Amino acid sequence: MLINGKQGHSIDVLDRGFQYGDGLFETILVEAGCATFLAQHFKRLAKGCVALGFPLLDEAMLRDEISSLVKAKQSGVLKLIISRGVAERGFLPPVKPDITRVISFSEQPVAISRELSVCSLIHCETRLSRQPLLAGIKHLNQLERVLARAELRGQEGEGLMLDVKDQVIEGIMSNLFMVKDNCLITPRLSHSGVAGVIREFLLDKAKDEGIACEVKEMALCELENADEIFMTNSLMPVRVINQLVTPTASIIKSSTGFAQWALNAIADDIQRQCLESVG
């Protein structure tokens, strides 16, 4: 673990990341020594810095620090956290913050499989708030997801999160895609939710390949009537939903065609990134 570029295991208790959740984070899959989709993660991080009024980070410095933690052929999970750092007491942010950055790597036997994993999608009572200023970015205030995850204690599957206006947004830790009449559809994230790196990759890939796709507001009834549902995130790229559990019904889903397309596209690109990283 590196804290501001040096080995360490603790931060100042006055750090605004700890005091107020005043910060951002990225969770990145490492495959065979390659931090995958790193440019896309940095792009979202930069968007978050603009939204919170942080100075933009030196990407070359971050890449060097990541390289010092991740050795050749290692796989696992890389986590990057930045906060506004230590400042005077109170909510008012400093004009020139001294950013705290923490980079950690956990080695795991990761290998992207082209075999789809399946899970159920379970409706959560906890709602996501609507805040356009924070929509799309991955900030440190994640209590809504903590509460939603607690609802599923002892249950297997991903949690489905709606916002306070009952619009379908995403999973607790993943973005959502549904398919209807051969059109790939994902919820609009203008007011809440995280714009996932894999979500953005698949939207671009679908457009490049001429696959019909749409980003729209989505009601629960539309999801119930979907031909196919799958979830995406950086660490578990694609999970196909075989059962949708709502307050009134348990609906079996069996189609997997688009999910397999998505997984193959992601696996191909990760393979390309890994080859380029050693080339």
Quote the CA–CA distance of 75 and 183 in Å, as a whole number.
34
The pair of structure tokens assigned to 66 is 């990541």
Q: Per residue in 32-76, pLDDT tens? A: 999 999 999 999 999 999 999 999 999 999 999 999 999 888 999
User: What is the CATH code of the structural domain delimited by 117-269?
Assistant: 3.20.10.10
The one-digit pLDDT tens for each residue of the chain (279 residues) are: 999 999 989 999 999 999 999 999 999 999 999 999 999 999 999 999 999 999 999 999 999 999 999 988 899 999 999 999 999 889 999 999 999 999 999 998 877 788 899 999 999 999 999 999 999 999 999 999 999 999 999 999 999 999 999 999 999 999 999 999 999 999 999 999 999 999 999 999 999 999 999 999 999 999 999 999 999 999 999 999 999 999 988 999 888 999 999 999 999 999 999 998 876
Q: Compute the residue count for the chain.
A: 279
Provide the annotated active-site residues.
27, 138, 170
Using the 8-state DSSP alphabet, how is residue 274 labeled?
Answer: H
Mean pLDDT, the chain, as a whole number?
95
Domain boundaries 2-107, CATH class: alpha beta
- Domain borders along the chain are 2-107, 117-269
Greatest C-alpha distance within the chain:
56
Q: Are 238 and 232 in contact (CB under 8 A)?
A: yes
Which amino acid does the sequence have at 37? F
Quote the CA–CA distance of 4 and 24 in Å, as a whole number.
15
Q: Are 104 and 78 in contact (CB under 8 A)?
A: yes
Residue 93 dihedral angles phi and psi, to the nearest 5°: -75, 150
Burial class (CB in 10 A: 0-12, 13-18, 19+), 248: exposed
